[in-house]
A and B are shown apart, each in its own frame.
Chain A
């Protein structure tokens, strides 16, 4: 299976897949200089990998993302949604810091726009 393991920088999140847990984690801050270039390997990885696996959890823990990153995130969620329609067991766990109401609002707006299981979890700041 193809692996994905992108280390974090100041303006880009860590993106890593755990084959054992079938969990794709996106962690950190996301405001890349060229957002679409940055997320391109993730789209490619999902397109290549999803047909060959029957389960995937996307775990998002992003304290800040710029507007073009939210576009890429929606595109990622759409790819997962298409996969779910074909019978794949996909779900999302979205973490936000309990004392950041703005972050909760962003999570809820994604939940409104997708039709896959979507769990919003508050974490201690």
Chain B
């Protein structure tokens, strides 16, 4: 384990508070979420900031978990990564997971639409989406990324990197002011 010191230095340099790399379960989402909340409470951050960081974390991790469950993702592509870091007065919540190439265009256009809107536009989009009638087979309200954008201090940052012929790797980073 002679690289552990290097890993520690890398974590410190990047201001990483918490990270997880593996297969997300519901109880892992709860446990890490509670740890983040307690940490921010101990640091005496404003309640609104704590809620925003926690909320963005929950939406990102539940999105990744639901994606794996709904889309029959094979074993090799199920692992997700989550990193929460802090630097220069802000928190960053980053997540990454494998995504089927066939899902990339619709996700890109959804993200582009969200990033084109200001706060009022996002509020309207959120309310319209929330008003849509729920069908019995729906497992998500389609609100997660809009909610994330409404809490973010700047535009959603994302990218897709090629993994293999079937999958890309989707990275998503949200910044929240107030560290």
Contact = CB atoms under 8 A, between A and B. Distances in A.
B173 to A, nearest CB: 19
Contacts of A11: 26, 29-30
A71 B48 contact: no
Interface string A48-73: 00000000000000011011101100
A68 B143 contact: yes
B45 to A, nearest CB: 12
A64 B141 contact: no
Contacts, number: 68
A10 B34 CA distance: 9
A75 B54 contact: no
Given A33-B26, A71-B141, A64 B130 contact: no
A103 B51 CA distance: 9
Most buried by B among A36, A68, A101: A68
A10 B141 contact: no
Interface residue range, chain A: 20 to 34
27 contacts: A11-B26, A11-B29, A34-B139, A35-B141, A36-B134, A64-B54, A64-B55, A64-B58, A66-B62, A66-B144, A67-B146, A67-B147, A70-B143, A71-B141, A71-B143, A75-B134, A97-B47, A99-B46, A99-B47, A101-B47, A101-B48, A102-B48, A103-B47, A103-B51, A109-B123, A109-B127, A113-B131
Interface of B: 26, 29-30, 33-34, 46-48, 51-52, 54-55, 58-59, 62, 65, 123, 127, 130-131, 134, 138-141, 143-144, 146-147
